[in-house]
C-alpha cells in the first residue's frame, strides 16, 4: 500500500519560491488573496484541474513550490482571463499562471511528452525561425512529438481542411525581416 | 476612414474566410485597410509561456512597424489572440518600466522605434463605435430576416484590456446583428472558453468545452452561431464532428460576424468565404445569398 502524506510541514516551505513568484509580473498581488474562491468558481477549466486556482494561489504564496510546479492546473489554464476580471482583490491570476508555467519550463518540472508545454516550446522555436507560425505544421509537429496516433485520428480533419482550402501545411510562411527579428530576440544583439 | 490591418497567422491559414469577409465588408463600407508590411507573429499565449519578455519584444516589432508605416493611424486586429497580445504589450510597458526598457533595448538593436501611440482596435469595435449602427443599417440590402443567431464572443476580445464592451456579457455584436435584421438569441455562454488550443493538446477537455457551447446554441434553437475569433470558429467548426461523436448529436454551423454582414450587404457566399465552413451554414443562409451580377461573377471566378 502506498501511503500518501496529506499534511505538509513547515520545513517543506520555501520562502524563496514565494519571493520569486511575487517578483514576476502578475505574481505581485498574490499576498492580497482572501481565498474567496471566485477564481475557481468562474474558471471553465477548474473541474479538469487537480487543484483549483484558489488552491494554487494559496500554495504558491505559502511557498509549496514543488506542488505548484508539478500541478496540472497551471497547464490547464487557457488564459480566458475570467478569473482576472472577476477577482475582488484585483489579482492578475492569468498572468500569475503564466509566471508559474515559465518557472515550470525553466525547471523542467512538467511531465515528458505532455502536449501543452511541448506545443508552447514548438511554437516558440517556429516563431524564432520564421517570424510566423504555420498552424498545420505546428499541429503535425506537436502530434509527432507527443502522440503520433493523433496524426491518424486527425486525418479526416486534415481532409476537411484541404477540401475547404484552409490547409496550409505546404505554404511557406516567413517574414523578410528575419535578421531584424533575430536582433530583437537575441540577448546580446548577436545572431545565435 | 483608414486603418492599418494586422492579419496574424490564423487569418492566412485556417481562418482565411475571416480575412476574406473582413476585407470585403470594410471595402463595401468604404473603409481602407492597408496590410502591415512584413508583420510577424504577435507572440500569442504559447510564446508567453516560454519567454514573456521576448514575447513583448516580438509584439512590439509589429507596433513599431505600424507607427512607421502610417503614423497616428489605428491598427485593426481581427484575431482575438493577436488583439489581446498586442494590447497587453501596450499596457505592460506602461505598468512595468523595467520591461519597457528591455523592449526598447531590443527594438534599438533592430533600429526600430515604438512610441506606444498606435491604437490596437478590433473590427467589431470600429464598426460599432466609429462607423455606427445607422451607417451599417443603411448598407443593408438584404436583411437577414428570421435568421436566429447565437452571438458568441469568446474570451479574449473583451478581457482583460479592451474597454469597448462588457467583460462578461458584451452586447456590441448583438446590436450589430440586429442592425442586419437578424434575430439575436439570448446566449448566456457568450464569453465562456471554447477550449483554446486544448482541442489539440488535451482533446478530451477541449472538445467537451466546444460541445457545451454548440449544444447550448442548439438548445436555444439558434440557426447558427456568429463569432469574432478564428480559434473559436476553428474549434467549433472543425471539431464539431468529433464532439458530436463523443457527447451527442449537434449540428450547429459557426460563421464569422463579418460573413453575415457581407451577405446582408449583398455580397455572394463565395465573396465572404462561406464555402470554407466544414459544417455548412448554407442550410439557413441560402435564402440570403446574392444571385445578382456581382455574386454570379464571383462564383464564375
- Read off the pLDDT band of A173 (50, 70, 90): confident
Measure A184 CA to nearest chain B CA, in Å.
5
Same domain, A158 and A124: yes
Q: Which of A107, A137, A168 is the last residue of a domain?
A: A107
pLDDT by residue (tens digit) across B27-74?
999 999 999 999 999 988 766 777 888 889 999 999 999 999 999 999
d(CA B205, CA A131) in angstroms, rounded, equals: 30
Residue of chain B with shortest Cα separation from A132: B41
Q: A18 with A80, same domain?
A: yes
Question: Would you tell me which residues 224-283 of chain B have a C-beta closer than 8 angstroms to some C-beta of chain A?
Answer: 238-239, 241-242, 275-278
Same domain, A24 and A74: yes
User: Same domain for A70 and A122?
Assistant: no
Q: Is B9 on the interface with A (CB under 8 A)?
A: yes
- Is there a single domain that holds both residue A75 and residue A120? no
ipTM: 0.90
Residue A76 vs residues A36, A53, A72, A116, B154: alpha-carbon distances, Å: 21, 10, 6, 8, 17
Secondary structure of chain B as H, E, C letters: CEEEECCCCHHHCCCHHHHHHHHHHHHHCCCEEEECCCCCCCCHHHHHCCCHHHHHHHHHHHHHHHHHHCCCCCEECCCHHHHHHHHHHHHHHHHCHHHHHHHHHHHHHCCCCCCCCCCEECHHHHHHHHHCHHHHHHHCCCCCCCCEEEEECCCCCCCCCCCCCCCCCCCHHHHHHHHCCCEECCCCCCCCCCCCCHHHHCHHHHHHHHHHHHHHHHHCCCCEEEECCHHHHHHHHHCHHHHHHHHCCCCCCEEEHHHHHHHHCCCCCCCCCHHHCCCCCHHHHHHHCCCCHHHHHHHHC
Number of domains in chain A: 2
Where on the phi/psi map is residue A90: left (φ > 0), alpha (ψ -120 to 50), or beta?
Answer: left
Q: In whole angstroms, what separates CA B142 from the centre of its chain? A: 23
Which residues of B fall within a CB distance of 8 Å from A160? 238, 278
- Grid cell at residue B264: 446582408
Closest CA to B160 of A92, A168, A40, A55: A92
Q: What is the pLDDT of residues A36-59, one digit of tens each?
A: 999 999 999 999 999 999 999 999
The dihedrals phi and psi of B259, each to the nearest 5 degrees, come to -70, -40
Nearest chain B Cα to A163, which residue? B276
What was the pLDDT predicted at B292?
Answer: 52
- Which of B9, B195, B276 has its CB closest to that of A135? B9
Q: Which of B191, B179, B177 is nearest to B149 (CA)?
A: B177
Q: Return the residue in A133, A149, A165, A174 with the most chain B beta carbons within 10 A, the one to mutate for interface testing.
A: A133
Residue B298 has a CB neighbour count (10 Å cut-off) of 16
Query: What are the boundaries of each domain within chain B?
Result: 2-121, 133-300
**What is the pairing mode between strands B2-5 and B32-35?**
parallel
Q: Which domain-ending residue is among A55, A76, A107? A: A107
CATH number at residue A89: 1.10.1060.10
Distance between CA atoms of B253 and B233, rounded to whole angstroms? 9
B188 has a chain A CB within 8 A of its CB: no
- Would an 8 Å CB–CB cutoff place A82 in contact with chain B? yes
B205 and A48 within 8 Å at the Cβ level: the answer is yes
Is A1 a member of any domain? Answer: no
In a domain, A5, yes or no: no
In Å, how far is A41's CA from the nearest CA of chain B?
13
CA A60/CA A110 separation, integer angstroms:
17
The grid coordinates listed for A51 are 487543484
Is B2-121 CATH 1.20.1050.140?
yes
CA distance B132 to A123: 38
Q: Where are the alpha helices (DSSP H) in A53-169?
A: 53-62, 65-69, 73-76, 82-86, 93-107, 115-130, 135-146, 149-153, 155-163
Answer yes or no: are the C-beta atoms of B215 and B250 closer than 8 Å. yes
Q: CATH number of the domain at B133-300, please?
A: 3.40.50.11810
Is B202 close to A161, i.e. CB distance below 8 A? Answer: no
Percentage of residues of chain A with pLDDT beyond 90: 56
Tell me which DSSP letter residue A168 carries: -
Q: Is residue A86 part of a domain?
A: yes
Note whether A160 and A144 are same-domain residues.
yes
- Looking at the DSSP assignment, which residues form a beta bridge with residue B33? B3
Phi, psi of A89 (to 5 degrees): -100, 5
Q: What is the DSSP letter of A46?
A: G
Residues in chain B, total? 301
Do residues B245 and B94 lie in contact, with contact meaning Cβ atoms separated by under 8 Å?
no
Q: Do A157 and B275 touch (CB under 8 A)?
A: no
B287: its cell numbers: 435564402
Rg over CA atoms, chain A? 20
Are residue A62 and residue A144 in the same domain, yes or no?
Answer: no
The two counts, helices (H) then strands (E), for chain A are 12, 0
Instruction: Point out the residue among A81, A156, A185 whose CB comes nearest to the CB of B58.
Output: A185
Q: What are phi and psi of B183, to 5 degrees?
A: -95, 120
Cβ distance B37 to A158 under 8 Å?
A: no
Nearest by CB: A131 against B13, B41, B50: B41
Quote the cell numbers at residue A59.
500554495
| Residue numbers of chain B with a pLDDT score lower than 70 | 46-47, 290-301
Residues A27 and A95 in one domain: yes
User: Model's pTM, two decimal places?
Assistant: 0.93
Residue B61: CB partners within 8 Å, gap ≥ 6? A177, A180, A181, A184, B40, B107, B110, B112
Q: Containing domain of residue A85, as a range?
A: 12-107
Whether residue A4 is contained in a domain is answered as: no
Q: Do A124 and B160 touch (CB under 8 A)?
A: no
> Is the C-alpha dihedral spanning A36, A41, A47, A53 positive or negative?
negative
Q: What are phi and psi of B171, to 5 degrees?
A: -135, 0
B97 touches chain A (CB under 8 A): no
Q: Write down the pLDDT at residue A89.
A: 96
pLDDT digits (tens, 9 = 90+) for A48-97: 999 999 999 999 999 999 999 999 999 999 999 999 999 999 999 999 99
Structural domain ending residue among the three candidates A80, A107, A134 = A107
Put simply, the chain A residues between 145 and 164 with a CB less than 8 A from any chain B CB are: 150, 156-157, 160-161, 164
Same structural domain, A59 and A122: no
Cα–Cα distance between B55 and B52 in angstroms, integer? 5
Amino acid at each position: 500500500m502506498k501511503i500518501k502524506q496529506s499534511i505538509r510541514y513547515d520545513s517543506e516551505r520555501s520562502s524563496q519560491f514565494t519571493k520569486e513568484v511575487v517578483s514576476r509580473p502578475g505574481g505581485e498581488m498574490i499576498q492580497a488573496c482572501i481565498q474567496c474562491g471566485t477564481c475557481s468558481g468562474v474558471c471553465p477549466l477548474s473541474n479538469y484541474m487537480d487543484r483549483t486556482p484558489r488552491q494554487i494561489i494559496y500554495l504558491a504564496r505559502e511557498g509549496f513550490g514543488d506542488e505548484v510546479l508539478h500541478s496540472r492546473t497551471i497547464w490547464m489554464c487557457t488564459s480566458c482571463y475570467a478569473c482576472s476580471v472577476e477577482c475582488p482583490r484585483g489579482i492578475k491570476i492569468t498572468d500569475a499562471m503564466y509566471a508559474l508555467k515559465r518557472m515550470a519550463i525553466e525547471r523542467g518540472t512538467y511531465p515528458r511528452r505532455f502536449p501543452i508545454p511541448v506545443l508552447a516550446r514548438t511554437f516558440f522555436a517556429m516563431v524564432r525561425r520564421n517570424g510566423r507560425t504555420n498552424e498545420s505544421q505546428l499541429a503535425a509537429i506537436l502530434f509527432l512529438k507527443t502522440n503520433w496516433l493523433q496524426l491518424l485520428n486527425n486525418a479526416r480533419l486534415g481532409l476537411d481542411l484541404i477540401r475547404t482550402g484552409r490547409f496550409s501545411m505546404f505554404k511557406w510562411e516567413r517574414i523578410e525581416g528575419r535578421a531584424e527579428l533575430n536582433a530583437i530576440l537575441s540577448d546580446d544583439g548577436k545572431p545565435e | 476612414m483608414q486603418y492599418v490591418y494586422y492579419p496574424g497567422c490564423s487569418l492566412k491559414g485556417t481562418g482565411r474566410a475571416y480575412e476574406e469577409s473582413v476585407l470585403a465588408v470594410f471595402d463595401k463600407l468604404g473603409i481602407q485597410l492597408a496590410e502591415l508590411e512584413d508583420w510577424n507573429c504577435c507572440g500569442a499565449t504559447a510564446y508567453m509561456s516560454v519567454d514573456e519578455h521576448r514575447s513583448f519584444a516580438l509584439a512590439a516589432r509589429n507596433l513599431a512597424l505600424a507607427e512607421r508605416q502610417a503614423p497616428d493611424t489605428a491598427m485593426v486586429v481581427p484575431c482575438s489572440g493577436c488583439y489581446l497580445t498586442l494590447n497587453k504589450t501596450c499596457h505592460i510597458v506602461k505598468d512595468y518600466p523595467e520591461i519597457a526598457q528591455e523592449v526598447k533595448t531590443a527594438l534599438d538593436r533592430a533600429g526600430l522605434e515604438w512610441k506606444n501611440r498606435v491604437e490596437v482596435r478590433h473590427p467589431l469595435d470600429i464598426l460599432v463605435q466609429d462607423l455606427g449602427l445607422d451607417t451599417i443599417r443603411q448598407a443593408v440590402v438584404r436583411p437577414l430576416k428570421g435568421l436566429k443567431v447565437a452571438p458568441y464572443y469568446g474570451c479574449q476580445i473583451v478581457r482583460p484590456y479592451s474597454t469597448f464592451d462588457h467583460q462578461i456579457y458584451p452586447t456590441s455584436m448583438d446590436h450589430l446583428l440586429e442592425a442586419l435584421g437578424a434575430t439575436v438569441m439570448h446566449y448566456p455562454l457568450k464569453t465562456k472558453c471554447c477550449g483554446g488550443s486544448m482541442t489539440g493538446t488535451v482533446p478530451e477537455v477541449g472538445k467537451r468545452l466546444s460541445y457545451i457551447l454548440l449544444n447550448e446554441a442548439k438548445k436555444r434553437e439558434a440557426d447558427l452561431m456568429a463569432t469574432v475569433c478564428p480559434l473559436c470558429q476553428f474549434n467549433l467548426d472543425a471539431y464539431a464532428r468529433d464532439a458530436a461523436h463523443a457527447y451527442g448529436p449537434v449540428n450547429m454551423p459557426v460563421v464569422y460576424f463579418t460573413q453575415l454582414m457581407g451577405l446582408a450587404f449583398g455580397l455572394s457566399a463565395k465573396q465572404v468565404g462561406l464555402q470554407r465552413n466544414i459544417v455548412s451554414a448554407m442550410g439557413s443562409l441560402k435564402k440570403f445569398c446574392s444571385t445578382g451580377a456581382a455574386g454570379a461573377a464571383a462564383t464564375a471566378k
